[in-house]
Amino acid sequence: MRLIESILFVSGKFLDMKALIALSDMNPIIIRELLEKLRESYEERESALRIIEKNEMWKMDVRPEFSHLTTKIAGGSSEFTKAEQETLAIIAFKQPIKQSVIVKIRGNKAYDHIKKFVELELIKKKKQGHTYGLSLSQEFYDYFGVSEPEKIQENKEKEEKENQYSEQQKTEGVA
């Protein structure tokens, strides 16, 4: 179990079964059992760490309630290349956006980036004529520990009201 745990810890990214077999030299049935035991162990101990499984890929990660710390300490995720980060940023900024537009902006490598983001369930991909429409999924917001645009706007409005109230209190106190 410690070997699988160390592989997941050091990799810092999703690994498929093929990679886990190559790195551990273990049988896939045993690897699956160890992954499940490891996941249960973190759950029982209420650890800050967890094992995530998505589309037959596994990763060790910090629980969402602590993700702001890892972002602050590590300066962001190293799971994605700079090119992938740029592609994801464009999708996030321009969503909903057609895949064909992303490919025109980013080049043919964008197909690989989009495939990876869909596998990780960070974006949603819907057929739109001859291309696909791309938008962010709830998993994107959870993964990066950010609020959805509607919640950001709500928080902004709430903060503005609090600031107005605070300014009003100062003005009334001075007069």
Domain count, the chain: 2
Residue 90: CATH number of its domain: 1.10.10.10
pLDDT value of position 140: 87
pLDDT value of position 166: 65
Predicted confidence pLDDT, tens digits, the chain (175 residues):
889 999 998 888 899 999 999 999 999 999 999 999 999 999 999 998 999 998 899 999 888 887 767 666 665 556 788 899 899 999 988 889 999 999 999 999 999 999 999 998 899 999 999 999 999 998 888 777 676 666 555 655 666 666 676 667 666 665 4
Note whether 117 and 144 are same-domain residues: yes
Label residues 124-143 b or e (16+ Cβ within 10 Å = b): beeeeeeebebebbeebbeb
Note whether 84 and 162 are same-domain residues: yes
- Asked which of 73, 105, 131 is the last residue of a domain, the reply is 73
Note whether 93 and 43 are same-domain residues: no
Task: Compute the C-alpha angle 101/102/104, nearest 5°.
Answer: 65
In a domain, 101, yes or no: yes
Note whether 65 and 89 are same-domain residues: no
pLDDT value of position 106: 92
- Domain of 102 in residue numbering reads as 80-166
pLDDT value of position 169: 66
